[in-house]
Structure 1
Amino acid sequence: MRTSNHLIGLVNFLTFLLSIPILGGGIWLSSRANTTDCLRFLQWPLIVIGISIMVVSLAGFAGSCYRNKFLMRLYLFVMIFVIAALIGFIIFAYAVTDKGTGRVVLNRAYLDYYLEDYSGWLKDRVADDGYWAKISSCIRDSGACRKIGRSFNGIPETADMFFLRRLNPIESGCCKPPTECGYAYVNETVWTPGGGLVGANPDCTAWNNDQTFLCYQCSSCKAGILGSLKKSWRKVSVINIVVLIILVIFYVIAYAAYRNVKRIDNDEPAGEARMTKSHPSHFQL
């Protein structure tokens, strides 16, 4: 029985350790929400799941150390719902970021982003005018476009050098006009109409060289946010899938060990009764 208790305690401790990457992923998404992705509500389910696993694991660890069956049962019962919640979050993360990617542009290393390439709940959320006002303000305040500038020995980079850069989705979608608009490069965030011609894309007329406007009201900027979210969520989801598999294995081990403890406890009273019956007391009043 002591071995089974030790095994349950070890599994709970390892489960506690597994909660750290889940919680860390939620905190990382939170930091991204405050600096680049600018969607501040998506990380909270993951943070709640990570904290829940941490608390429940501590309860199970205490139960195994002090042979408290209630805490052991509580761990096994609650972990079912926590694992289900983690599965639900992973499915949700992949479902809302399933479609959409950047388009390859001729003679450019970076991709261009188009809102029509995305679909579903997350696109509708980001494209909503009321919600986009908050997101665009966040992007502007984060200084994402201010950081895009480069110089070499005090000399700004040329157009050819800029075209070879691998911009992230927000830099490509929000800090420059779409390539099809035909704007001529002046610097990273200043562009002029090339030969007086501007493409038919509505984003072409939405572009403004004023550094407080740029392409923050462009559909390409909204697509850039969706592209950035997809990259962030996919990175975290890969970690969560690995953690989930290990978590399920640990849960099965903990459940088997608990069943073993329960069986031994049930056998002990029966064994004591048989010993009493086979060795009756010789002293009777």
Structure 2
Amino acid sequence: MCHVSNTLMSILNMGTLGISIILIFLSSSLPVCGDILKTPLLFFGVFLFTMSLFALIGLCCRISTLLWLYLFVLLLMIIGLFCFSVFSFIVTYKGAGKQVPDRGYKEYELDEYSGWLKKNVVNDKRWVKIKSCLSGSMLCMNSEPPNGNGNGNGGAVAKAAADANARGSDGGASEFYKIRLTSTESGCCKPPSYCGFEYQNRTYWTVPKGAQITQADDCRAWSNNQTELCFNCGSCKAGVLDNIKREWKQMSIILTCILVFLNIVYAVGCCALDNTRAYRYHRAYP
């Protein structure tokens, strides 16, 4: 195998160049709000691109020192990817949405998710930025709310406007309840079902006459103000985490495939290094 290892190694490194470009593209296409994989993925893509160039230079110029350094760094990368794959599986193992009876969507609770994700992804400092991003992203796709805010005590005029909006654009509560909302939409754009609020339109919900708001934090946190909605709710944080969890699982599959490919590159690279050393030895001592 060693006599063709340099050629095969060159072909494989052209492959890693392509993979690095794909990773850089993926990092730019990840959602802006709350995804902490964006920067590490971009760094990994650029790093892999640089390493592949060094390997190609080492192979073309038969520089054994450069190839040795490349293989050493590649081994560290393989170990790092393996550790990250195990870590990502552990932190995304917990957490899932709960199906609500007679609803097309699921609802999410923050306590269901990994402590590491809660501490490092949706902590108070990061959540300020995520909430601002969600608020400005038009995530909930609703027109301007009727006059009134808070928990739905905007008066008769506000309710009439809300009813008109519901009939005109949202198709009413029965239609809304059939919608398959994303985890972020379900957690951030409406109050949890257990609050018992009445649907007026997608982002305007009122407290039934004579009813009292439950003391649950998310029910008290809901606001009909379109810049607030349920962005202060635990359900919103849980929805964001559920979305991140799915993305991490998909990314773990991709990284596992890359890990297998890099192991092949490493094995071929060891042969290429031996071949390069033998070539230089024969040149020096014919």
TM-score normalised over the length of structure 2:
0.82
1:97 counterpart (92, 110, 115)? 92
Asked if residue 160 in structure 1 is aligned to residue 174 in structure 2, the reply is yes
Deviation of the 1:266 alpha carbon: 4.1
Do the aligned residues in 2 keep the contact of 1:181 with 1:204 (CA within 8 Å)? yes
Asked if residue 170 in structure 1 is aligned to residue 184 in structure 2, the reply is yes
> SS state of the match for residue 94, structure 2?
coil
**CA–CA separation in structure 1 for the residues paired with 2:284 and 2:56:** 26
1:38 counterpart (16, 34, 38)? 34
Asked if residue 4 in structure 1 is aligned to residue 19 in structure 2, the reply is no
Partner in structure 2 of residue 280 of structure 1: none
Partner in structure 2 of residue 277 of structure 1: none
Q: Which segments of 5 or more consecutive residues in structure 1 lack a partner in the other structure? A: 273-285
Partner in structure 2 of residue 255 of structure 1: 270
Do the aligned residues in 2 keep the contact of 1:22 with 1:50 (CA within 8 Å)? yes
Q: Which amino acid aligns with 2:256?
A: I
**CA–CA separation in structure 1 for the residues paired with 2:143 and 2:57:** 51
**CA–CA separation in structure 2 for the residues paired with 1:91 and 1:58:** 29
Relative to 1, partners in 2 of residues 1:42 and 1:11: Cα closer, same or farther, differing over 3 Å? closer
**CA–CA separation in structure 1 for the residues paired with 2:143 and 2:101:** 21
Relative to 1, partners in 2 of residues 1:62 and 1:221: Cα closer, same or farther, differing over 3 Å? same
> SS state of the match for residue 186, structure 1?
strand
Higher alpha-carbon deviation: 14-23 or 157-166 = 14-23
Partner deviation per Cα, 1:40-82 (whole Å, 9 max, x = no partner): x432222212111111111111111122222222221211122
Relative to 1, partners in 2 of residues 1:110 and 1:9: Cα closer, same or farther, differing over 3 Å? same
Q: Which amino acid aligns with 1:78?
A: V
The aligned runs of 1:184-263 (5 Å cut-off) are 184-195=198-209, 196-263=211-278
Partner in structure 1 of residue 83 of structure 2: 88
**CA–CA separation in structure 2 for the residues paired with 1:88 and 1:247:** 15
**CA–CA separation in structure 2 for the residues paired with 1:224 and 1:108:** 16
Asked if residue 69 in structure 1 is aligned to residue 64 in structure 2, the reply is yes
Partner in structure 1 of residue 14 of structure 2: 13
Relative to 1, partners in 2 of residues 1:262 and 1:240: Cα closer, same or farther, differing over 3 Å? same
TM-score normalised over the length of structure 1:
0.82
Partner in structure 1 of residue 159 of structure 2: none
Aligned length: 264
Q: CA RMSD in A?
A: 2.6
Partner in structure 2 of residue 145 of structure 1: 140
Deviation of the 1:180 alpha carbon: 0.9
